[in-house]
Amino acid sequence: MKKLYICCIALLLSSLSFSQLRLSVLGGPQWASVNESNSIPGWDSTTKPNYTKRTSINIGLLADVPIGESGRWFLQPGVFYSGKGRKYAQVNDTVTAAISDTLLYNNNFYTNYIDIPVSIAHKFPLGKKSSFLVSAGPYLALFFNGKNTIETRAYSTNKFNKEEINIDAGKATNKVKTSDFGVNVRAGFELGSILLTAFYSQGFTNFYTASYDGTFKHRVIGASVGFGLTKAQARKPKDRDKDGVPDVQDLCPTIAGTVATNGCPDADNDGIADANDKCPQLAGLPKYSGCPIPDTDKDGINDEEDKCPEMAGLPKYNGCPIPDSDGDGINDEADQCPDKAGTPDFNGCPIPDSDGDGLNDKEDKCPQEAGSKENNGCPEIKKEIVEKVNYAAKNIFFDLNSDKILQKSFDALNEVAEILKENSALRLSIEGHSDNAGKANYNLALSQKRAEAVKAYLIAQGIDPGRLAAQGFGQEKPIADNKTSQGRAQNRRVELKLEQD
């Protein structure tokens, strides 16, 4: 088999050398996986999540064979060494480990192939020596070698064991097929002799014979950097009039012209063919059929459209200057405060400060009520209100492991509701917290439910839901040591935080 690989590579190199086509060497990382499908009960939920991609390399040769005369289409055969396969890792919990006597089980299934892709590529020019390329086509992969590495750690003895098994090709159980067939896609940039690409391949062949019914197909994604080893010998297109424009693109193939006019004559070199140029000896623009633009004041606006042809202006004012007395960038016709600099949002007038607190209405979150800059223009929340709400938060209690609010909490919550009713500009953030006893997910869910219960109670007291926010944090934000019962009691809490609207 290895002799066949060597023959394929030698044949490719010899054919490229003979044809003087471009040959590049490419290499880079790739991430391989195996798309497995079977009917084993529970496999998708219990076993499949433990599989991860194998990180390996992809290195080889890629050729460019031009198709046609456009210089954009290419046949791209190649030969690559490609590491494929997958990894499996399972760490058992204490109960499972005790039953199976297995604490750790890793299974690395690595197979290596010689990939032979044959793709059709299209290159989109970006510059003189750069392009963006996209290619796609089938590939044939020949199995090279493989190894199955199994690592275990016993629960009872904590002993680590490692076993390496060579993977062989064949049709029997636990063997891989000699060849694999699939499709591959590549895209990236060609910068001179350098190639920067990403690629993806999907196998169609069920490459592995397992001891159970199932299909196994390779899937690879990766990136590569390449360098040209040889330069392609460019085909010289037919050009009968020797003007540098190929006949296939030349609108005047027997009369020498310019590239700008698609091969037709252009005496004044203005990019307009003489046949279409009303001023063939004087450079002009297409807008004026090849004649120059009359522009007396040199403001870029021709005299026929310029209402101030003797005074330079702007197109917005038909060639006349913009009047702007206060220099705020808004012309006087649109400026409602032409003698006082302002902003476009207020039609040229300054941004108003309705409450006179020194913050304009755009920066002021309470534009109708004077406040401080530190509080974004809103009045400071009174200290006694904050203290009452904080005291109330410490007197909210629930049934054990429940979001049911105890009756002894109602007075505190009713006082919070009254504060919110009396201060309509206030909003309340309700945060639920727990200690670290039990599972984190359970604690998080319970703290969320308790925060929602407080919110629901306040809504029932007539508070607008839009003024309330509830969020549970579980055991994420302790304020005391969870190692003591007193600390855990402090961590099981509801916090109430006031904000200005």
pLDDT number for residue 446: 92
pLDDT band at 10 (very low <50, low <70, confident <90, very high): low
As a whole number of angstroms, the distance between CA 432 and CA 417 comes to: 18
Strand partners, 202: 183, 219
- Assess whether pLDDT exceeds 70 at residue 8: no
Q: Are strands 426-433 and 468-474 parallel, antiparallel or unpaired?
A: parallel
- Assess whether pLDDT exceeds 80 at residue 149: yes
As a whole number of angstroms, the distance between CA 342 and CA 350 comes to: 4
Q: Give me the CATH topology for the region 2-230.
A: Porin (2.40.160)
pLDDT, tens digit, for every residue of 209-225?
A: 999 999 999 999 999 99
pLDDT, tens digit, for every residue of 352-404?
A: 978 888 888 788 778 877 777 767 777 778 889 999 999 988 999 999 899 99
Task: Share the mean pLDDT of the chain.
Answer: 88
Q: Where in the chain is the domain with CATH 2.40.160?
A: 2-230
- Assess whether pLDDT exceeds 90 at residue 33: yes
Residues 6+ apart with CB under 8 A from 15: none
Nearest to residue 89, comparing CAs of 31, 47, 55, 38? 47
pLDDT number for residue 18: 44
Q: What number of other Cβ atoms are within 10 A of residue 290's Cβ?
A: 23
Nearest to residue 195, comparing CAs of 123, 248, 142? 123
Q: Where in the chain is the domain with CATH 3.30.1330.60?
A: 383-500
**Whole-structure pTM value:** 0.47
Q: Give me the CATH topology for the region 383-500.
A: 60s Ribosomal Protein L30; Chain: A; (3.30.1330)
**The two three-digit tokens of residue 309, written as one number:** 């042809």
φ, ψ of residue 218 in degrees (nearest 5): -75, 145
As a whole number of angstroms, the distance between CA 37 and CA 451 comes to: 44
As a whole number of angstroms, the distance between CA 190 and CA 206 comes to: 35
Average pLDDT over residues 69-95: 91
Judging by beta carbons within 10 Å of its beta carbon (0-12, 13-18, 19+), is residue 201 exposed, middle or buried? buried
Dihedral angle sign, alpha carbons of residues 372, 373, 374, 378: positive
As a whole number of angstroms, the distance between CA 20 and CA 229 comes to: 11
Average pLDDT over residues 412-437: 92
pLDDT, tens digit, for every residue of 246-295?
A: 878 878 888 887 888 888 888 888 888 888 888 998 888 888 888 887 88
As a whole number of angstroms, the distance between CA 162 and CA 352 comes to: 76
